[in-house]
Amino acid sequence: MPGPDEGARPAPVPRPRQRKRDLPRDHLGRLRAPGEPDAMAHLKHAQREPPAAARARDLARSALAERRFFEAVTYCDLIRKDPVTPEAERPLWRALAQVAAGLCHLQRGNPGGAQAVLARAARGLAEHAGAAPGLGAEAVAATVRTLDAQLAHGAPVADPPAIVLGEDPGPGSGLPPGERS
């Protein structure tokens, strides 16, 4: 008769658990196996040590224009949460983050997820487009409405468009030029 330890499974080897947010990601933000190259390591650094407001705005603008939508989500959220961003602009930056998230879903081949997020983004842009007049949120809203309509009718959107924001003078951009500090 075998003893109590014979035939028993060996004790599991303890391994440090990695949180999902700490795992490496590819250029579209999809999770990769531990040890693989992390194309989004710079975003993790930006979340730990957020860039200055002007730099975050430049990074968000370039990420949207260059169709790096996963990155754009992070930068738009950093701007929204930055204490120097005026309260009136924060919902607009949330809507822009939703636009980027919806377009990221399209890049990943998930039109259903894209449509759900883009519909929320369209509502947010419609409600808050005037918060930063120089940003061009009206043009972004028109693009989002067009995409949402295409997706609602089942039309394939193979290549999401770049989002080009207007020149944004930075925090307080909703103020007339003479009143900005």
Q: pLDDT: is 118 or 3 the higher one? A: 118
Global confidence as pTM: 0.80
Q: Label residue 168 by pLDDT band (50, 70, 90).
A: low
Q: What is the pLDDT of residue 44?
A: 83
Neighbouring-strand partners of residue 25: 31
- Give dist(CA 60, CA 99) in Å, integer: 12
- Give dist(CA 60, CA 47) in Å, integer: 13
36-61 pLDDT per residue, tens: 898 888 888 888 888 998 999 999 99
Q: pLDDT: is 115 or 170 the higher one? A: 115
113-163 pLDDT per residue, tens: 999 999 999 999 999 988 888 888 999 999 999 999 999 998 888 789 999
- Give dist(CA 110, CA 157) in Å, integer: 10
Q: Label residue 169 by pLDDT band (50, 70, 90).
A: low
53-65 and 90-107 helices cross at what angle (nearest 10)? 30
Q: In this predicted structure, which of 17-26, 68-77, 86-95, 141-150 has the lowest mean pLDDT?
A: 17-26
Q: In this predicted structure, which of 8-12, 46-50, 66-70 has the lowest mean pLDDT?
A: 8-12
Q: What is the pLDDT of residue 60?
A: 95
CATH class name, domain 41-165: mainly alpha
- Give dist(CA 107, CA 127) in Å, integer: 26
Q: What is the mean pLDDT of the chain?
A: 85
